[in-house]
Structure formats: structure tokens, C-alpha cells
Amino acid sequence: MKICTFNVNSIRARKELIIRWLTEKETDIDILCLQEIKVEDGLFPYEDFEKLGYTAIVYGQKGYNGVATLSRIPVEQVIKGLSDEYFDSQKRVLTTKIGGIWFVNTYAPHGGLRGEDKYYYKLDWYKKYREFVKSFSPEEKVILLGDFNVALEDIDVWNPDVLKDSIGVMEEERQALMSVIQPDFKDLKKPYQDLSEALMSVIQPDFVDAFRYLYPDKKQFTWWDYIGGAVWRNEGMRIDYIFVRKNLIDRVRDVYVDMWTRRRRSPKPSDHAPVIGIIEV
């Protein structure tokens, strides 16, 4: 099974690029999880993807956010949102059961600088997301994938000194999230206890960052600012992930970032590149 997560930064702006990519480059993706589609359900280009063999499940929003899961494998169950009216006013989480595996397509809030309203919204959203992830029984096969808007380690940013304390790189975010996906991570400092508590169990101790599991020392980014040609200098961050539950990690054969859609000038790319995982089923 080949799965993919891709923040497209508007499905309508990126439709031509994605279709070309799926027909010219990555022709055998089974499940494609899109984030930030920025369109209501009824305006999603279903027919264009049906021609490629995909069924589209969409949880969209006009002009902002929105997630969609495209599958060439029959979809067994669908859960839209986090079952919370306040947080689900922003369409950020779409869960589908496909091939006996739950895929939690996730677009986490970008957040704000420490102390700003968006910073606290992100904190509270992660608490609710944590509760949702915990609702899966231990024997369920679950994959969390998407744009999590946190760079886990220094190796995941182009310059940790320049980016220190910027959004998504704040030390308390990274330490808290590390302690979740690496249960043996003990060097924990909690200058901001509330944020640590919000993120501590988002991934849960039984989830693994599949890319870092396979490539512990590889520097690879998934997002680059549009400004100043950052992608050509590789000045980016790794904020898009495939987190695999430990009962699936032995089935992961590869995880890689496909630069075909990002290092180009036309059609205009998203500021993210897709992350692709190959899982034996």
C-alpha cells in the first residue's frame, strides 16, 4: 500500500499540478491525504480524481483549512472532525478506515507566537486531538498523517539558531512531542507546563515517526517559504509526518519526500511537498 500526505495549499490552485503528478510521476498511490484544500465539500473536483480511480471523502471549508482523503481502496468507515462543535468549526481532521487501518488525516493549527491567542488555540486544539486519538482501542491499526505544524528536532529545520522560538520550533512544543513519540526521551524541560501537557499525548507512546525511524540521521524538509526562493536553497522545515502505530511499524518499507511538485515554477507549487509511505499489507 502506498500512502501519501500532502498539504496542497488550495485544491483549486493546485489541481492541475496534482493530476499531472499522479499521472506522470506517482501513478500508484493508493491513499492520498490532502490538507488545506480551502474549499467547501460541494466545490471539490470529485470527477477529476474519479477519472484516476479515486473515491474522494471531503471535509472542507470555504477559503480556509479543509481536508480530503482520496482512496483507490474501498473506504469502510468515515469520521469527520473531533466530535466537538467549537473545534470542528475549523475543518482539520478527517478519519477513514481503509483496508482495516484507520487513517487520521490531520491539519493542525499553525498557531502564533508564545502568548498570543492563536498559540493558546493550538494548545487547546491539541488537547482535543489527543482525546480523539486516545479513543482508538489498543488493538486498532492507526496511522496519523498530515501537517502537524511542529518541527521535532534541530535536524528538522534548516537553521535552528535563526528559527529559535519561532512558531512550530518553540522548545517546549518539540520537547513535549518528542516525549510522546519516543517514550525513552527523558531530557524534558517544561518552562511552559500548559503547552507541554497539551502536546504530551497527542501522538501517544505507541506511535512512531516513520521517516525518522527509517532514516535517523537524514536531513529532509517538507515545507519551504515561498519568499526568497527558499526551496532552491533548501531552507525549510519538516512539519509533515506519517506517525505509525507500533503494531504497524514492521510493515513500513519506506518513507520519502517527493520534490517533483515543489521544485518547479509552473504550475505553481504548494509550499509543502508530499510525504509518501510504503506499507506492506
d(CA 160, CA 154): 6
Give tens-digit pLDDT for 133-171. Answer: 888 998 999 999 999 999 988 899 999 999 988 999 887
**70-126 pLDDT, tens digit each:** 999 999 999 999 999 999 999 999 999 999 999 999 999 999 998 899 988 887 888
Residues 3-50: tens digit of each pLDDT: 999 999 999 999 999 999 999 999 999 999 999 999 999 999 999 999
Q: Structural domain boundaries of the chain?
A: 2-279
Supply the mean pLDDT for the chain.
Answer: 89
C-alpha span between 81 and 39 (Å, rounded): 16
Task: Give the model confidence (pLDDT) of 197-206 as tens digits.
Answer: 454 445 545 8
The class that CATH gives domain 2-279 is alpha beta
Whether the CA torsion 247, 66, 24, 157 is positive or negative: it is: negative
> Of 84, 224, 247, nearest to 151 (Cα)?
224
The pTM of this model reads 0.91
DSSP secondary structure code for residue 272 in this structure = B
d(CA 159, CA 210) in angstroms, rounded, equals 23
Kindly provide the b/e burial profile for residues 5-44, where b requires at least 16 CB atoms within 10 angstroms of the residue's own CB.
Answer: bbbbbebeebbebbbebbeeebeebbbbbbbbbbbebeeb
Closest CA to 135 of 188, 69, 84, 169: 84
Q: Around Cβ 189, how many Cβ atoms within 10 Å?
A: 9
